[in-house]
A and B are shown apart, each in its own frame.
Chain A
């Protein structure tokens, strides 16, 4: 019944398709759906739909229109009203909004009122988001009058918003109901699990949405951000807390409260799960973002005396300090809660909240959203994630990462984020170690060569060391290393805290790797030194010459650093193994090449080490020296590592140790789950608001999926299953 209703009306009035943008709720799917029904054609959303059918496409700011009859001219488009002039010369007003709001403005004599209301009820029980549409014919004269008032209101210098609202109210009267639409707006799959996993990983989750409070609260329960035993505090409740804290601080520190050292008394008595639900306007108020009244500035525009100027700057500074202190207090309070939900926030406020957290809490922020209204927030946060979906690609284009579903966030953070951190830290530590071991040999050698900066290696070796001989293994380790497998990473979100607390690369670790490099360089130098002090070669020719010495140290160095990275690698693949042994082989290959007779003939001055490799490495004595050096460098590392893993194992060590057992458990659990399919509980969601600028979709994950069959069943039969779940 509703279907036919919509059908007829739309044909009469042209097809209005609103593009999804910040302030419009009616998404394109809506009309596609409606249009699909009569024509039975598949259609892509919005523009493609229109273009396929050859409709004229006209756009005015955020609103796009596909007008069947291109002669309809657009008069005015402002949210959420639309004034057009039909080709016959009439002026029509189209309006959309929530049923509660629209119904107030309807003409008394609307024939379809009751039917539409019934349809709306059915939609609501299906937990769909509903919209009502209506229109009105306007006389030319009436329009002109109203237009004048509208112009006056829009250029008003004071209270512009209120004036505009009044003007809107005037014309939005006696509307004729066109019909109702409904879209399905379900929470994406996997959102509750993702949220609970992330909170186990010590990540605080805040929801910033433009919906109204009840909706936001429902969403919070739906995605398990709020549970049954969570105490919910609203903005008004904590006003008092913030106020008292402010007073205390002022009493303690005088005017410049921010110079008082922060006292870490918690806002709330400890214990219990606490959640905070605040609105955008409350945020404005409490954080003193309101602009100072213009009258004040006009009065003190020209400070006559020095005194006045000083007082003004002082008062400004005081105000600034007070604001900062208030903001700091707010952030502290909010961080004590396990979840924070801000509703009715504008995009600007979203960005402001992110900025507050960035400034007052030394934390890394990640903002995830899917609409154009999230772009501000995505850009402000340290990491911006855009969900590519039906909202279009604005969020995606301004983000650092983008994917299609919210639940991929857990993989992004817990698997790839964690691995990336671990790889980076290992890479850095190893790189510093390797270069210190390489370079400091010269330092020790200088004691024995008259401090003359004679290099302890061949020049070509120095050139190629970082380039060829030791670069590939560390590169591969930085790309491929995994300390625990991805499934286990997801299963134990607690592993993530290692990165949050900076445990794997901080000053201490850096100095440890530095020290390691120094010790290695000492061993690399002094053992061959001892071996060379009094030695002669196998056939009497003294190999105690400089070039053999260089070759010995270089070989020992290459073997040591490559084996060291072998010890550091936790995830062995074929490429890793190949790179390590390959680097060593490459070194020997190139060395023999450069020390050969052939190349000396070509470039005598450049390659002076002719014959060294073959002569020196022929001696078993040299090999014994090299082996001893490598062993002395690596054995302590092995011992220390073993001890630390046995006596003080880290979480990831423990997991690694038991990984086979955990993997078996995983298999067993998965086999069990195959035969059971979870039913997600849905709460009814009247998630629509009418106010301009706040009509927003849930930004913490949503997708609009065209689902035709259930609705067909509902409307066509006229019967409906009432699956209304009770709101708490």
Chain B
């Protein structure tokens, strides 16, 4: 569901140049089929070159690993997002600075007039290795997170500093999963990142029954300036991953070509085998 809002008829159009922050818009949509099993909610961005070389290098992994010296003295790669007002930025770098900060909420419009919010789980969306090995908060043990980040300032484009990303201490600071997911740069300019999980309730009811829904968006993230687009994607998965016909089509195509080629070569081999047995070696 594209919610960029460039189209004037789109409800999110008003958020392109908001007169009030935060701007909230709502998009209605209908699910034709019900979604079974675990459902995954993604946000997708287009024309956003997260694979640009300068962008990819603009991070400090030591700082993100919780190294106290790197916390106060971020690496030079982060320039120009390294220091702000003479204080080191934590987390530094362009990747962190451009973190996606829209908030999406999903509501099911049921028979009753009251829409039911769908429970969105925000933990378990990042890789285990990322959360537990690569990203660590600065050491401190019992000291509150704010103390540990003393002496640093928040990235320029952020609203809240890093130690206030979530009230849950296990999801705060550098190990905030949304942050981690964002920091894992995408390969292509059109990508999607996992936002929330919708867990399976029980086997009797589908996770997302067919029907009308509406999406509540807190439109913070500006993409209009670089002609980008924003989307929300809901998806189920199978053993092979999500819906992607490319591989299937490719396999079938290559397979049939190979088969034809095999038949052709078999014929040629047969024809030439008979003639070459009698051929003499002329040298």
Contact = CB atoms under 8 A, between A and B. Distances in A.
Contact of A628 (B133, B239, B250, B282): B250
B31 interface: no
Given A450-B189, A453-B53, A614-B129, A540 B38 contact: yes
B167 interface: no
A651 to B, nearest CB: 6
Interface in A490-514: 492-495
B188 interface: yes
Interface in A535-562: 535-550
Contact of A542 (B65, B194, B251): B194
Q: Give the interface SS of chain A, mostly helix, strand, loop or mixed.
A: helix
Contacts of A453: 53
A121 B281 CA distance: 51
Contacts of B55: 452
A633 to B, nearest CB: 11
Contact of B130 (A540, A611, A632): A611
A547 B184 contact: yes
Contacts of A78: none
B49 A452 contact: yes
Contact of B52 (A450, A642, A647, A655): A450
Interface in A599-646: 600-601, 604-605, 608, 610-611, 614-615, 619-621, 624-625, 628, 631-632, 635, 639, 642-643, 646
B127 interface: yes
Contact of A527 (B239, B250, B279): B250
Interface in B156-197: 184-194, 197
Contacts of A455: 53
Interface residues of B, number: 63
Interface stretch (B1-9, B109-117, B215-223, B264-272): B264-272
A540 B237 contact: yes
A9 interface: no
Interface stretch (B18-26, B144-152, B240-248): B240-248
B258 A635 contact: yes
A647 B235 contact: no
B276 to A, nearest CB: 7
B98 interface: no
A657 B251 CA distance: 34
Nearest to A449: B51
A654 B188 contact: no
B105 interface: no
Contacts of A621: 240-241, 247
Interface in A439-470: 448-450, 452-455
Contact of B242 (A494, A535, A605): A535
A300 interface: no
A658 interface: yes
A404 interface: no
A597 B129 contact: yes
Contacts of A594: none
B61 A546 contact: no
Given A625-B247, A628-B250, A646-B272, A544 B186 contact: yes
Given A542-B191, A542-B193, A620-B239, A536 B40 contact: yes
B126 interface: yes
Q: Give the interface SS of chain B, mostly helix, strand, loop or mixed.
A: mixed
Contact of A639 (B60, B133, B261): B261
A532 interface: yes
A476 B261 CA distance: 32
A81 interface: no
Contacts of B235: 536, 540
A448 B51 contact: yes
A610 B75 contact: no
Which of A536, A548, A649 neighbours the largest number of chain B CB atoms within 10 Å of its CB? A536
A529 interface: yes
Interface in A557-603: 597, 600-601
Contacts of B265: 639, 642-643
B204 interface: no
Given A546-B51, A614-B129, A658-B281, A628 B254 contact: yes
B143 interface: no
Interface string B54-86: 111000111011010000000100000000000
A545 B184 contact: yes
A548 B193 CA distance: 14
Contacts of B188: 448, 529, 532-533, 544, 549
B134 interface: yes
Interface string A663-706: 00000000000000000000000000000000000000000000
Given A454-B53, A545-B185, A605-B75, A540 B244 contact: no
A546 B75 CA distance: 22
A295 interface: no
Contact of B244 (A531, A597, A631): A531
A533 B261 contact: no
B38 A454 contact: no
A531 B184 CA distance: 19
A414 to B, nearest CB: 12
B19 to A, nearest CB: 33
A534 interface: yes
17 contacts: A452-B53, A452-B55, A454-B56, A494-B282, A494-B283, A536-B237, A538-B239, A541-B194, A546-B184, A550-B187, A597-B133, A605-B62, A611-B129, A628-B251, A628-B254, A642-B269, A654-B281
> Which 3 interchain pairs have the tightest Cβ spacing?
A494-B283, A611-B129, A536-B242
